[in-house]
């Protein structure tokens, strides 16, 4: 079945978004369509302000061709990550590159109204920053540390966000910022960010695993984000892990992965190791008045503390054991490990890899790579921005783009 004109426009737009500038002859050859039709579609997107023809391409004889490029500077997007213990906000261009960012600790239990009030203040500050893009704001994307019904942008029974159940986050963001907004689970957004701008750009089937204050996974299948029927695909936090002393999870059950392999779990265990004296390094920090957290476990392990090292190994095995089933079931080519806990480094990563290979089918791991995330602290912002960008950069919205304010 031949693609329609709109499909051709989307294909051309995506090529220029994700692979860089190209001449019209090169684009015509790549899409296999007629030169006249390709030129028509490119000109429509130039008129809409999304493309520009302003670079000299390589000549193969005759008239020197010009390269067509995607205009990342044509608009700006706000990317927001609302975590269980902090908020991250940034403004990006249409390529998802953050120009200004902000992070602060924040207790989401203060509720959605207080949180959105603070987000509005932060966005105002960022937009006034001289480094912020001058292009008009065209969309807002947000990732929440909660199960999210993507169609409505509402969190559903969020275990780490009390008071947010059913709150119309998407509608409220649209009302406050005067542009369209999209809201997703934060880990799904991070997976999309890695797919568009990180290590997974060449992976059609991969998993993004966030090890932060909580635990979650985002799934990409055949090059597209897989949210599932109701938006909760990839919720691995409440898989039961094998342990003799199952800890109580915030969901009310015992032995969940989140209760044993999250930042909250490492913080709990760090304090226990300090109190019992099993970790001299952590005990010394506690005696000096340090409020121990997951990062201190990493520091202790790097300093050679045996108890902290064993704790990271155990955490990695919990994660890898849980992932082993998913790897056999989903058969990804890549697993990307992100989130604050992932900064624990090689000790944790090696334990994850060992357990995944041990508990997965050999065929499922034949070409599997397990790597740390590339986007670092900006992963949530970039992923949220792409959640909005993929929605607004659709070929069926060219009329909308043509009606936007003049763009430099």
At 57 the pLDDT is 58
At 55 the pLDDT is 66
**1 pLDDT band (50/70/90 cuts)?**
very low
Phi/psi for 371 (5° steps) reads: -135, 155
Determine the Cα–Cα distance for residues 164 and 18; give it in Å rounded to an integer.
Answer: 35
Contacts of 243-249 with CB under 8 Å at 24 or more apart are 243/318
> Is the confidence at residue 170, as pLDDT, over 60?
yes
> Is the confidence at residue 125, as pLDDT, over 70?
yes
> What is the overall mean pLDDT for the chain?
92
| pLDDT tens column, 41-87 | 999 999 999 999 986 656 555 566 789 999 999 999 999 999 988 99
Percentage of the chain modeled with pLDDT above 70: 95
Determine the Cα–Cα distance for residues 152 and 149; give it in Å rounded to an integer.
Answer: 6
What is the pairing mode between strands 76-82 and 137-144? parallel
**Helices 306-330 & 263-276, crossing angle to 10 degrees?**
150
C-alpha distance from residue 81 to each of 78, 89, 178, 250, 299 (Å): 10, 6, 19, 21, 26
Helix (H) or strand (E) holding 271: helix 263-276
**395 pLDDT band (50/70/90 cuts)?**
confident
At 345 the pLDDT is 86
At 84 the pLDDT is 84
**290 pLDDT band (50/70/90 cuts)?**
very high
- Mean pLDDT of all residues in 226-231: 85
> Is the confidence at residue 250, as pLDDT, over 90?
no
At 408 the pLDDT is 44
**Helices 294-302 & 263-276, crossing angle to 10 degrees?**
60
> Is the confidence at residue 105, as pLDDT, over 70?
yes
| pLDDT tens column, 295-351 | 999 999 999 999 999 999 999 999 999 999 899 999 999 999 999 898 888 999 999
Question: Could you give the residue ranges of the DSSP H alpha helices within 277-344?
Answer: 280-287, 294-302, 306-330
At 59 the pLDDT is 56
**6 pLDDT band (50/70/90 cuts)?**
low
- Mean pLDDT of all residues in 219-234: 88
C-alpha distance from residue 59 to each of 21, 23, 39, 171, 274 (Å): 15, 10, 18, 50, 69
Q: Using the Cα atoms of residue 274, residue 280, residue 281 and residue 283 in order, give the sign of their dihedral.
A: positive
């Amino acid at each position: 079945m031949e693609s329609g004109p709109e499909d051709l426009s989307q294909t051309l737009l995506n090529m220029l978004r994700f692979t860089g500038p190209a001449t019209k002859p090169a684009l015509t050859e790549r899409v296999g369509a007629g030169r006249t039709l390709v030129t028509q579609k490119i000109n429509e997107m130039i008129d809409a302000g999304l493309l520009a023809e302003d670079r000299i391409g390589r000549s193969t004889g005759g008239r020197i061709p010009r390269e067509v490029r995607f205009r990342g500077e044509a608009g700006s997007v706000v990317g927001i990550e609302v975590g269980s213990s902090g908020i991250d906000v940034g403004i990006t261009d249409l390529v998802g590159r953050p120009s200004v960012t902000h992070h602060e600790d924040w207790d989401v239990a203060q509720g959605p109204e207080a949180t959105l009030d603070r987000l509005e203040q932060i966005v105002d500050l960022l937009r006034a920053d001289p480094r912020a893009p001058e292009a008009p704001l065209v969309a807002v994307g947000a990732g929440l540390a909660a199960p999210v019904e993507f169609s409505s942008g509402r969190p559903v029974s969020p275990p780490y966000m009390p008071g947010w159940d059913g709150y119309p986050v998407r509608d409220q963001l649209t009302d406050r910022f005067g542009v369209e907004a999209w809201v997703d689970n934060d880990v799904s957004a991070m997976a999309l960010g890695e797919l568009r701008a990180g290590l997974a750009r060449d992976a059609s089937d991969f998993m993004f695993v966030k090890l932060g204050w909580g635990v979650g996974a985002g799934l990409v299948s055949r090059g597209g984000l897989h949210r599932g029927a109701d938006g909760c695909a990839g919720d691995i936090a409440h898989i039961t892990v094998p342990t003799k002393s199952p800890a109580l999870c915030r969901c009310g059950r015992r032995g969940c992965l989140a209760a044993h392999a999250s930042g909250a779990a490492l913080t709990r265990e760090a304090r226990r190791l300090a109190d019992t004296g099993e970790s001299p390094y952590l005990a010394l920090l506690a005696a000096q008045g340090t409020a121990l957290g997951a990062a201190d476990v990493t520091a202790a392990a790097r300093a050679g503390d045996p108890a902290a090292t064993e704790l990271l190994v155990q955490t990695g095995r919990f994660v890898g054991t849980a992932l082993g089933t998913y790897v056999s079931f989903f058969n990804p080519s890549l697993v990307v490990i992100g989130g604050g806990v992932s900064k624990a480094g090689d000790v944790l990563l090696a334990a994850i890899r060992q357990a995944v290979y041990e508990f997965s089918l050999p065929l499922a791991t034949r070409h599997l790579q397990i790597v740390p995330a590339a986007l670092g602290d900006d992963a949530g912002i970039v992923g949220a921005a792409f959640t909005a960008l993929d929605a607004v950069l659709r070929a069926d919205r060219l009329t909308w783009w043509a009606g936007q304010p003049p763009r430099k």
